[in-house]
Amino acid sequence: MMISRLMCGDVYPDSYWFQFKREEISVTDLMDCEKIHLKNPLIFTLNKKISEKRLLSYNYYMSDGPHFISPRLATLLKNNEEFVKEVQLLDAIVIINGQSHYGFKVFNPLRSIPCIDTDKSESMAMLTSQPDGPKLFTKIVLRQDITEDFWMARSEEAASCIIISDKLRQLLIDNQIKGINLKD
């Protein structure tokens, strides 16, 4: 099975980086692969002179916290029963120049799978005092011998790395999703 890293597309403008309002959860909470119960939606803000229409044509957005997706992509994925068994979609409000936009979501993959080819990837110890401890990957090469059937998961070796299956990649291509790198 072919797998890919979930990454922002090359054409994503730097001016579209949102600020994440850290209140109820942190980015590390999303790396636990467990359901999160929020009292309020997550909030992302952008205060820049930009074309709102062009910005809202994207389906995947970057922030200084978690990345998030458009209402269009959220609806597409919410209607996929298999996908929502594996990935919790957390509510998000996006505030652009003071104007609130609703229906955005943050991915919270509920499973992790071993998927990094540690022989071909490059990493270093996060703590020099623990050379066999947690690794910081400087180059990630994914294994292509994954037999598990999944839509989206976190990498067991590097929790910040989200991987997608070929069936999800194809769904994104078929629906002309903008903002995600879908190249081979």
Give the C-alpha separation, 81 to 63, whole Å.
Answer: 27
Would you put residue 49 in left (φ > 0), alpha (ψ -120 to 50) or beta?
A: beta
Instruction: Decide if 126 is inside a domain.
Output: no
Give the C-alpha separation, 139 to 149, whole Å.
Answer: 25
Q: pLDDT by residue (tens digit) across 108-151?
A: 999 999 999 989 999 888 888 887 777 888 899 999 889 989 99
The rounded mean pLDDT for the chain is: 91
Range of the domain at 104: 3-114+141-174
Instruction: Decide if 160 is inside a domain.
Output: yes
Instruction: Decide if 183 is inside a domain.
Output: no
Specify the pairing of strand 99-109 against strand 19-21.
unpaired
* Count of structural domains, the chain: 1
pLDDT at 84: 95
Instruction: Decide if 132 is inside a domain.
Output: no
Instruction: Decide if 25 is inside a domain.
Output: yes
pLDDT at 76: 96
Residue ranges of the chain with pLDDT lower than 70? 1, 183-184
The pTM (predicted TM-score) of the whole model is 0.89
pLDDT at 13: 82
Instruction: Decide if 156 is inside a domain.
Output: yes
